[in-house]
């Protein structure tokens, strides 16, 4: 498709779904196609003012590690979490218009964007001399901590087909001096410094790769989270504080332990794709250690512990359409996905998605993601399930995550 | 913004005694109006409304207005009766960064342990003078049939008649 064609396609979708905000359609398309930053756009990037790429747990679409804007903000406060993409792959272009960063497509200015603002703690050193942003990073309203940057599913090559965590940590270790397992007290030292900035953060977010070790599989993963949370807990006057983890699907006993011993308020265990056969293919480690039906059962059980509106699961939307095993049509993918999402929603578990971004160091990195029409229908469908089942999603919304077009729509939920 | 009304708006906004109201409509057209104590104009001529609560009806209505290019209304009424209505489109929701932090600090200085959800920038697109004294003259000049006749009665004459038994 030509660049001009892509602009027309965006307008077609905007016209087709007048009930979906144009900004959310644009965001989704930018996530789908990626962005390319021109030299002018990069010339106004200032590490004192803007968040610059550096500590991603996953890689970029163009395979490079270079200083670029961490991500973008739209006028409605929505983030576009997107990845730099080679110009040959026809991404949106970020250039300047009268000095303001702007999204362009086919040479046409489309919409103004802002680079994410830099947190005040970036550039500072921990007591042991490590640059703080190497351990803790930030989204516009959220602190991001990766307490363990390795996933043991890769020990027997059973990592997910869309995942490049191991390739990224190898690059990160070499190019960015990123630690695999930062110390809990050092993490807390950085968070304490970050909290000196008024109004900057409304949640703490932790995620790691899966760690199978322990008396019961994943006990060690939970130990890592508990250790960090207990250090963080010393900083707050309330036992619970706004926080989220994306972890593996834990047993009831493990979830109870995690909930009781920490300030954690919400829980996410990403199932990645809502179909058992595709789960087995794309997430062989999860299938080996837990299994599809058990993963779902554990999500539902988590609602009893964390409460309705505090548990969800994420999809890497688009992998369900990859060849040779995926659904043959987008219509089929949509109906099968929403059918299973509804089953979860009826039991109190929300489903959210991210736009799959095919990256070079992954098994399916050479394939294409889905159409914009598909992603918009999926966003509408997941949002409508939250309306039907009255499921709030504030812990994973535009302010606390920013990576889910479907939860952007849920900003208008009246509950 | 029409230049003629700009000075009045600035004067009203400079006066702490001015009542500042932001009115919005929901998806089905239901009206909703709230006091906006921090409302002011920024250097670029946008109204700045500070929304303290993320889930407030006004916050949702403003977001819907921004998404679908619909207008909100602002009313400023001074202690002396001067009143201006501004229709505007919310164009930006600031939730992070130095501008947000600055307002967050201001809100907390004013209200103690308060929070701030969103700094809304509203672009004025239409201004209506609602000062009663001025609107009354306008109305009576342009629409003579809007006046009740009893107000036009020659009281002096009828009083004289009444006095004579
Ligand atoms: S669980 Fe899958 S996606 Fe997550 S880190 Fe491991 S391999 Fe990657």
Q: Is A169 in the pocket of ligand 1 (CB under 6 A)?
A: no
Q: Cα separation of B103 and A97, whole Å? A: 27
Q: Is A165 in the pocket of ligand 1 (CB under 6 A)?
A: yes
Q: Cα separation of B44 and B121, whole Å? A: 10
Q: Cα separation of A228 and A183, whole Å? A: 8
B91 touches chain A (CB under 8 A): yes
Taking only the tens place, the pLDDT of each residue in A161-207 is 999 888 877 776 666 667 889 999 999 999 999 999 999 999 999 99
Contact A21 B54 (CB under 8 A): no
Please report the beta strands in chain B, taking only residues with DSSP state E, as ranges in sequence order.
Answer: 19-25, 31-35, 40-41, 47-51, 72-77, 83-94, 118-129
Provide the pLDDT for residue A3: 43
Q: Cα separation of A369 and A371, whole Å? A: 7
By percentage, how much of chain B surpasses pLDDT 90?
89
Q: How far is CA B83 from the centre of its chain?
A: 8
Q: Cα separation of A327 and A274, whole Å? A: 11
Only one residue has tokens 């996953």, namely A58
Taking only the tens place, the pLDDT of each residue in A386-403 is 999 999 999 999 999 999
β-sheet with A100-105: strand ranges across: A35-37, A92-97, A100-105, A108-112
Provide the pLDDT for residue B4: 61
- The CA distances from residue B79 to A72, B23, B39, in Å, are 44, 20, 16
B63 touches chain A (CB under 8 A): yes
Domains identified in chain B and CATH numbers:
7-130 (2.30.110.10), 131-165 (no CATH)
More confident residue, A272 or B161: A272
Provide the pLDDT for residue A172: 65
Per the document, the length of chain B is 165
Taking only the tens place, the pLDDT of each residue in A197-256 is 999 999 999 999 999 999 999 999 999 999 999 999 999 999 999 999 999 999 999 999
Provide the pLDDT for residue A274: 98
Taking only the tens place, the pLDDT of each residue in A91-137 is 999 999 999 999 999 999 999 999 999 999 999 999 999 999 999 99
**C-beta neighbour count of A332 within 10 angstroms:** 13
Cβ A11 vs Cβ A17: under 8 Å: no
Q: Cα separation of A155 and A111, whole Å? A: 44
- Look over chain A and give the mean of its residue pLDDT values, rounded to a whole number: 94
Cβ B91 vs Cβ B46: under 8 Å: yes
DSSP A321: G
- Tell me the pTM: 0.93
Q: Cα separation of A248 and A225, whole Å? A: 11
Provide the pLDDT for residue B157: 67
Residue A57 has pLDDT above 70, yes or no: no
Taking only the tens place, the pLDDT of each residue in B72-91 is 999 999 999 999 999 999 99
Q: pLDDT band for A62, please (50, 70, 90 cuts).
A: confident
Cross-chain CB nearest to A199 (options B60, B68, B100): B100
Contact B93 A76 (CB under 8 A): yes
Cβ A378 vs Cβ A385: under 8 Å: no
Q: Cα separation of A183 and A348, whole Å? A: 35
* Cβ neighbours of residue A54 closer than 8 Å, sequence gap 6 or more: A67, A70, A133, A134, A137, A176
Interface pTM (ipTM) of the complex?
0.92
Residues of A in contact with B109 (CB under 8 A): none
Q: Cα separation of A25 and A19, whole Å? A: 11
């Amino acid at each position: 498709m030509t660049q001009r064609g892509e602009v027309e396609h965006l307008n077609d979708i905007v016209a087709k779904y007048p009930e979906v905000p144009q900004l959310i359609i644009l965001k989704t398309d930018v996530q789908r196609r990626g962005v390319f930053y021109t030299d002018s756009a990069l010339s106004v990037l200032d590490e004192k003012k803007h968040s610059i790429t550096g500590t991603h747990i996953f890689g970029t679409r163009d395979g490079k590690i270079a200083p670029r804007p961490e991500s973008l903000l739209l006028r409605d406060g929505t983030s576009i979490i997107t990845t730099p993409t080679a110009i040959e792959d026809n991404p949106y272009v970020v250039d300047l218009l009268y000095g303001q960063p702007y999204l362009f497509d086919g040479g046409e200015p489309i919409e103004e964007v802002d680079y994410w603002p830099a947190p005040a703690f970036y550039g500072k050193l921990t007591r042991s001399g490590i640059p703080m942003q190497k351990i803790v990073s930030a989204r516009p309203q959220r602190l991001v901590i990766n307490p363990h940057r390795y996933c043991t599913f890769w020990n027997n090559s059973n990592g997910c087909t869309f995942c490049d965590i191991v390739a990224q940590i190898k690059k990160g270790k070499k190019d960015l001096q990123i630690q695999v397992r930062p110390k809990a007290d050092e993490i807390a030292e950085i968070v304490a410094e970050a909290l000196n900035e008024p109004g900057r953060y409304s949640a703490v977010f932790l995620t790691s790769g899966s760690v199978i070790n322990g008396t019961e599989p994943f006990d060690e993963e939970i130990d890592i989270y508990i250790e960090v949370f207990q250090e963080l807990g010393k900083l707050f006057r309330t036992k619970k504080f706004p926080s989220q983890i994306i972890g593996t699907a834990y047993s009831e006993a493990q979830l109870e332990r995690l909930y009781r011993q920490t300030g954690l308020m919400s829980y996410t265990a990403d199932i990645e794709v809502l179909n058992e056969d595709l789960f087995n293919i794309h997430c062989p480690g999860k299938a080996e250690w837990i299994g599809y039906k058990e993963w779902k059962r554990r999500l539902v059980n988590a609602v009893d512990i964390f409460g309705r509106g505090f548990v969800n699961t994420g999809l890497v939307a688009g992998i369900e359409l990859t060849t040779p095993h995926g659904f043959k049509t987008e219509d089929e993918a949509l109906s099968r996905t929403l059918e299973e999402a509804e089953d979860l929603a009826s039991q109190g578990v929300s489903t959210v998605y991210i736009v799959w971004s095919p990256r070079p160091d992954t098994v399916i990195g050479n394939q294409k993601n889905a159409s914009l029409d598909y992603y918009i229908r999926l966003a509408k469908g997941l949002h409508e399930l939250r309306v039907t089942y009255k499921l709030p999603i504030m812990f994973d919304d535009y302010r606390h995550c920013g990576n889910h077009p479907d939860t952007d729509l849920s900003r208008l939920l009246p509950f | 913004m029409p230049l003629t009304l700009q000075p009045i708006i600035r004067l009203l906004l400079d006066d702490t005694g001015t009542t500042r109201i932001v009115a919005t409509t929901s998806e089905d057209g239901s009206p909703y109006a709230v006091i906006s104590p921090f409302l002011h104009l920024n250097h670029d001529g946008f109204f700045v409304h500070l929304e303290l609560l993320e889930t407030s009806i006004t916050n949702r209505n403003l977001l819907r207005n921004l998404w679908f290019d619909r207008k909100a209304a602002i009313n400023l009424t001074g202690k002396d009766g001067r009143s201006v209505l501004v229709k505007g489109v919310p164009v930006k929701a600031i939730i992070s960064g130095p501008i947000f932090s600055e307002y967050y600090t201001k809100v907390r200085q004013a209200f103690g342990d308060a929070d701030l959800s969103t700094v809304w920038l509203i672009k004025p697109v239409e201004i209506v003078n609602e000062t009663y004294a001025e609107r009354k003259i306008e109305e009576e000049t342009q629409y003579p049939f809007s006046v009740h006749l009893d107000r036009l009665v020659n009281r002096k004459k009828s009083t004289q008649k009444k006095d004579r038994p």
